[in-house]
């Protein structure tokens, strides 16, 4: 365990569904990230939050909506997804402004049908 927990581990959803992915870290970090991992782009940065403020939106479609209510929790709200959004979604956390590693969660394997 790295101290970063993601739920659910697996998710199957239809294109008209609304679901949310959750990430929680117990490391006292103040930066959290969402990455998308697929065969096409192995580790693609989606969003960055520093001190609960979004500092990066890497041209992600609006059907993905992040939320960071506090430094320990990060959500990714999903609605009207497409089959090509099927991927492994990885959450990570780190200490912002320090040159230290990012710790990853186990990921949520998302399948859009």
Partner 1 sequence: GENVEQHPSTLSVQEGDSAVIKCTYSDSASNYFPWYKQELGKRPQLIIDIRSNVGEKKDQRIAVTLNKTAKHFSLHITETQPEDSAVYFCAAKGNEKLTFGTGTRLTIIP
Give 19 or 109: the residue with its C-beta nearer to partner 1: 109
**Residue 85: C-alpha distances to residues 59, 69, 78, 102 (Å):** 14, 24, 10, 24
Binding partner 1 by CB under 8 A: which of 35, 46, 81, 85? 35
Binding partner 1 by CB under 8 A: which of 3, 7, 56, 61? 56
Identify the helix (H) or strand (E) that includes residue 102.
Answer: none
CA distance 109 to 12: 8
Binding partner 1 by CB under 8 A: which of 12, 27, 43, 113? 43
Rounded to the nearest whole angstrom, what is the least distance from the CB of residue 11 to partner 1 in the complex? Answer: 16
Give 74 or 90: the residue with its C-beta nearer to partner 1: 90
């Amino acid at each position: 365990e790295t101290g970063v927990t993601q739920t659910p581990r697996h998710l199957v959803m239809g294109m008209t569904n609304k679901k949310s992915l959750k990430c929680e870290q117990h490391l006292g970090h103040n930066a959290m990230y969402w990455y998308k991992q697929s065969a096409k782009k192995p580790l693609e940065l989606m969003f960055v939050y520093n001190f609960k403020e979004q500092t990066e939106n890497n041209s992600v479609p609006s059907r993905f909506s992040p939320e960071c209510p506090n430094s320990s929790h990060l959500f990714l709200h999903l609605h009207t997804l497409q089959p090509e959004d099927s991927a492994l979604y990885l959450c990570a956390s780190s200490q912002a402004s320090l040159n230290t590693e990012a710790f990853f969660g186990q990921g949520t394997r998302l399948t859009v049908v």
